[in-house]
Amino acid sequence: MENRKPSEKILDNPYDGKEIIDEKNRVLKLRKPDILDLYDLMSALGDDAKNPTCQAMAMNVLYIGMIEGQLVASPKSYAEFRATLKRIGNEGMKALADYMESLDHDSSKKGQIEKAKK
């Protein structure tokens, strides 16, 4: 079993260092969610985990590693999830959604270029 701090896990993943700015001008540092963090959160959500909107919000919460240099711990309970969601707010969720959409757009654009080369 891994005995590293959550902040040390952030340093290992491909999202490390990627910073996005939300509408409140807060700097959000992203991380790639750990599979166990996702499992723990889905377990904590109970029946809400069956709701696709709630699933998407939960997954997005796990991508936020820091806000303004302060660690955002992966929620392990329903109450922690709600508190974390409140902390991230609409502005943080929108900034993350915009960033994820840009990744999808870049990915599909690269695919189109590769297709055209063939």
pTM: 0.72
pLDDT at 16: 64
* Averages of pLDDT over each 10 residues, the chain, 118 residues: 54 66 96 90 93 92 94 94 95 93 65 54
The dihedral region occupied by 22, where left means phi > 0, alpha psi between -120 and 50, and beta the remainder, is beta
8 A C-beta contact, residue 72 and residue 66: yes
